[in-house]
Amino acid sequence: MTVLAMASRDAPKAAIEPPAASLRGVTRHYRFPGGAKTLHALGPIDLDLRQGEFFSVVGPSGCGKSTLLDVLAGLNPPSEGTASFEGKPIAGVPDGIGVVFQEDASFPWLTVEANVAFGLKRAGIGQAEIDRRVDYAVGFMGLRDFRQSYPAQLSGGMRQRVCIARTLVLQPRLILLDEPFGALDQQTRLIMGDELLRLWRETRATVLLITHSLDEAAMLADRVGVMSARPGLFIDIIETGWPSDRDSRIVADPRFGEMTGRIWEKLRTETMKHMQTQGAGPR
Amino acid sequence: MSSKVLASKTMASKTLPSRTLPGEALRNIVPPIVLALVLILCWQGLHLATASGAISSPAATLARLVVLMGSGRFWLDVAETGTAFAWALVLSIVLGIGLGVALALLRPVGEVMEPILVTFYSLPKVTLYPLVLLIFGLGMPAKIAFGIMHGLVPITLLTRNAITQLKPVYLRTAKVMRLSAFEAVRSVVLPAIIPELVAGIRIGFSLSLLGVLIGEMFASKRGLGFTAVNAMGLGDLDTIMAIGVFLALFAVLANGGLLSLERAIRHRSAGR
Ligand SMILES: Nc1ncnc2c1ncn2[C@@H]1O[C@H](COP(=O)(O)OP(=O)(O)OP(=O)(O)O)[C@@H](O)[C@H]1O
Ligand SMILES: [Mg+2]
């Protein structure tokens, strides 16, 4: 039993577990500044995240993936529909959800160590426990030699790992990751993917990962949600059927190629549609 | 707050390669010294080039400064100017930061006010002198008002700018960590904008000193500004120059101190 393991998941599995989070008819419209016109960014979406699953989301740029994450995190209320976490409607950021944003969110004025401990200090956790968790997360993310460094002294990928560690130590039951390895090269992405799987197995948290990489989506997830161009809808949700002790070696498996092929087939039509209607997209 | 910042700075320097090589230290000290020597040489040259007495020589100025610094009257002036300046600076900082925060939060108001403030900033404030005198009369309040008129605007603008430019993802992080509004301001917004605030204070510092001195020239019977104007009337060039040098030294040293504080804070946010 490790420091980051989740007590709640040790309970014997019920026959049908309630979903970790669920969305019902969720849409999101953004208002253009000043005008009465709105932009339909997302939905309507119905989605159940199963307790403890690894769910990845792929979709063309600007299709509303980050918007979806905002709704789940309670940062933005849905325009229509309902979102709930552990059976309770999401109003404001619920306790037990951790988010790693698409942009670098490490605090430049704090050391790596202080960054990672940031949320714990606020949560009023004892110093000994903070030290223990920070130590573990810093080691887990391979940042041990950089504990005293400032983000400006780290590479983009390392900063993103700081943000992951900062989220991890709070022991969230649902972890939302928005393109956390965007700044990394393919090889490092695969390695970080392994780390993420290790983390997921250890914490038994429910993970939702947004990614642009089909390989990453196919290799990491239990289920891959493929989104349409804006307004984002799930056009397909593909079960990968991988064993839970999978790792990046799976990319050599012929079934892996088949899987990415399937996802790409779905996405290709969507991406083409997207390019034709709005160029490369506003963001 | 600042002690925390300084503490973490020293922690940072531990992890960096040592920079206290003798060559490095020389490189930091030599340029200012060379610059000072060049300036003094130019000064001497100007003195020689102009008709006798138009510009005092460095030596005469220094001699006069030594005499001045030995007199009680001079230090009374310094105390007078210093008091007005301290008030002007503190009020500029407090009001400037308060106003900057308000204009950042009330975004539409801030957008309207920004160009107005920039215009005011570039306006020669002497044109408003009669108005200030009318309101405050002669003396300390008028001097302080003059200092604030110069120092307030840059601090306001830089504070507003720092807040509006704050990376939204920092606030989103604070929200996800479920911080209270107070906690978010204390542990996220404030540290994020502190480098800008120090920069604003540094500029406000020089400008409010300038404002106080101008105020003393017009609206006071005491202080360094008044003494300089008085000496001008008497044709006492050495005194004017000596006061000028005294103020310049003070301003340069203070500015240098604030600049290195700002750098120390920025150091980490902006890289090496
Ligand atoms: N705060 C906002 N105000 C107005 N429009 C927004 C806002 N945030 C997002 N949008 C719009 O909503 C749409 C979806 O944006 P979102 O960031 O969710 O896309 P995404 O799928 O995450 O894209 P990417 O893969 O490039 O990160 C975009 O067209 C974007 O312009
Ligand atoms: Mg996004």
User: What are the residue boundaries of the structural domains of chain A, listed by start?
Assistant: 3-96+172-277
φ/ψ bin of A112: left (φ > 0), alpha (ψ from -120 to 50), beta (otherwise) = alpha
Nearest CA to ligand 1 atom 1: A30
Q: Is A170 on the interface with B (CB under 8 A)?
A: yes
pLDDT at residue number B260: 86
Report helix angle B237-270 to B190-219, nearest 10. 170
CB-CB neighbors (< 8 A) of B271 in chain A: 152-153
Give the domain ranges of chain B: 17-55, 56-271
B14-21: long-range pairs with CB below 8 Å, 24+: B14/A148, B15/A148, B15/A149, B15/A153, B16/B272
CA A211 to chain CA centroid, Å, is: 8
Tell whether the model's pLDDT for residue A204 goes beyond 50.
yes
pLDDT tens column, A72-116: 999 999 999 999 999 889 988 999 999 999 999 999 999 999 999
Q: Above pLDDT 70, what percent of chain A?
A: 90
- In a 10 Å sphere around its CB, with 0-12 CB exposed, 13-18 middle and 19+ buried, how is residue B136 labelled? middle
**CATH code, B56-271:** 1.10.3720.10
Nearest CA to ligand 1 atom 22: A66
Greater confidence (A31 vs A9) lies with A31
pLDDT tens column, A240-273: 888 888 888 888 888 888 888 888 888 888 777 7
pLDDT tens column, A223-234: 999 998 888 889
CB-CB neighbors (< 8 A) of A93 in chain B: 175-176, 178
Q: Which residue of chain A is at minimal alpha-carbon distance from B14?
A: A148
Q: Print pLDDT tens along chain B (272 aa).
A: 344 443 444 444 444 444 455 666 677 778 878 888 898 889 888 888 887 667 888 888 899 899 988 888 899 999 999 999 999 999 999 999 999 999 999 988 988 999 999 988 888 888 888 888 889 888 889 999 999 999 999 999 999 999 999 999 999 999 999 998 999 998 999 999 988 898 899 999 999 999 999 888 877 788 899 999 888 888 888 898 899 999 989 988 888 888 888 888 776 554 43
CB-CB under 8 Å, B265 with A109: yes
C-alpha separations of A99 from A102, A175, A178, B12, B105 in Å: 10, 6, 8, 28, 26
**CATH code, A3-96+172-277:** 3.40.50.300
Tell whether the model's pLDDT for residue A33 goes beyond 90.
no
CB-CB under 8 Å, B176 with A75: yes
A283 lines ligand 1 (CB under 6 A): yes
Q: Look up the ipTM and state it.
A: 0.85
Distance B170 CA to ligand 2 centre (A): 16
Rounded to a whole number, what is the distance in Å from the CA of A245 to chain B's nearest CA?
30
Q: What tokens does B35 get?
A: 């610059």
